[in-house]
C-alpha cells in the first residue's frame, strides 16, 4: 500500500483523489493538509502541517493540488525530506517552472498540468498535425473551465500552446481579442478563455483553412479521469530512483 499525504484534500481534485483511494487497497490517504477555513468543514486535517508529518513512516509520497505558492513551498519540504512529490497545480510562470526544474535536481518530482490520457494523446496528435498543416491554416484555441478556476489560460492550454510553438517558432501568441485589428496573420496562434458553471475542462484546437476546418476537441466529463492519472503517477514515481522532473511522457 502507498501512503499519501494529500495537500488540498478538500478541493475539487483532492476530494476526487481521496474518493478513488477508498475504492481499492493500493492507496491510503494518511494525512490531509488543508487551509484552516476548509478544515472547519471536517475534523480531518485540522492543525496538520506538512513539515510536521513529512518524516513519518506513513508518508510515502506527497500529492499536491493547491495554489502555486503553497505548491512550491511543499515541494521544497518534500524534496528536503527525500519524499517523492506529485502535483497538477497550475498557474506557474516560466520563472516558477525554472525553479521547479532546479528543485527537481535534488528530488523526485512528477508534474503535469493535466493527468488525462486523452489530453496526452491530443498533444501527440497535435504534434503531427501541426507539422503537416505548416502555414496553410489559421490556428485558434478555445478552453473552458468551471467558474472557480483562478488561472487563465489553463495549464493544459499552455501545454498545447508550447507544442504548437515548437513547430511554429516564428508565430506570435495572443490571448483573446478586443478592439480594432488588422486582417489576421497566418503567423498567429490565438488562445481564448471561457469560465462558467461546473465545466470540468474543455479544450479545442482549430485549424481553419480556405474551404475547410479541422478541429481537435477534448472534453473531460469527470475529474475521476484526472484522479486516476494522478494515482498512476504516484505508483510510477515511488518506484523511481533518479532525482529529476518527471511527466506524462515518462508515464506513457
Catalytic residue positions, numbered:
145, 149
Compute CA distances 138 → 65, 84, 110, 175, whole Å: 35, 42, 34, 15
Cis amide linkage into residue 244, ω under 30° from 0:
no
Q: Which 3 state secondary structure label does DSSP give 158?
A: helix
Q: Which residues contact 223 (CB under 8 A, 6 or more apart)?
A: 12, 13, 16, 200
Q: How far apart are CA 9 and CA 31, in angstroms?
A: 9
Q: HEC profile for 90-152?
A: CCCCHHHHHHHHHHHHHCCEEECCCCCHHHHHHHHHHHHHHHHHCCCCEEEEEEEECCCCCCC
All three cell numbers of 242, joined, read: 533518479
Q: For strands 212-220 and 201-209, give the pairing.
A: antiparallel
| CA of residue 201 relative to chain centroid, distance | 11
Q: For strands 212-220 and 172-175, give the pairing.
A: unpaired
Comparing CA positions, the residue from 93, 174, 97, 170 lying closest to residue 140 is: 174
All three cell numbers of 197, joined, read: 458553471
Amino acid at each position: 500500500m502507498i501512503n499519501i499525504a494529500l495537500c488540498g484534500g478538500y478541493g475539487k481534485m483532492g476530494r476526487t483523489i481521496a474518493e478513488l483511494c477508498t475504492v481499492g487497497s493500493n492507496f491510503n490517504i494518511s494525512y490531509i493538509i488543508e487551509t484552516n477555513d476548509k478544515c472547519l468543514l471536517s475534523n480531518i486535517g485540522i492543525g496538520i502541517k506538512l513539515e510536521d508529518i513529512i518524516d513519518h513512516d506513513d508518508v510515502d509520497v506527497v500529492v499536491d493540488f493547491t495554489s502555486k505558492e503553497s505548491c512550491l513551498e511543499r515541494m521544497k519540504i518534500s524534496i528536503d525530506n527525500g519524499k517523492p512529490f506529485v502535483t497538477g497545480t497550475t498557474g506557474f510562470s516560466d520563472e516558477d517552472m525554472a525553479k521547479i526544474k532546479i528543485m527537481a535536481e535534488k528530488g523526485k518530482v512528477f508534474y503535469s498540468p493535466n493527468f488525462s490520457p486523452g489530453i496526452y494523446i491530443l498533444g501527440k496528435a497535435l504534434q503531427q498535425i501541426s507539422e503537416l498543416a505548416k502555414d496553410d491554416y489559421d490556428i485558434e484555441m478555445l478552453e473552458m473551465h468551471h467558474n472557480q478556476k483562478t488561472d487563465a489560460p489553463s495549464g493544459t492550454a499552455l501545454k498545447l500552446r508550447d507544442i504548437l510553438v515548437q513547430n511554429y517558432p516564428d508565430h506570435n501568441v495572443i490571448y483573446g481579442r478586443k478592439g480594432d485589428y488588422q486582417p489576421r496573420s497566418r503567423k498567429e496562434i490565438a488562445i481564448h478563455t471561457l469560465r462558467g458553471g461546473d465545466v470540468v475542462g474543455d479544450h479545442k484546437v482549430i485549424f481553419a483553412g480556405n474551404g475547410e476546418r479541422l478541429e481537435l476537441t477534448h472534453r473531460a466529463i469527470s475529474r475521476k479521469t484526472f484522479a486516476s492519472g494522478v494515482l498512476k503517477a504516484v505508483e510510477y514515481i515511488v518506484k523511481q530512483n533518479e532525482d529529476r522532473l518527471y511527466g506524462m511522457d515518462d508515464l506513457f
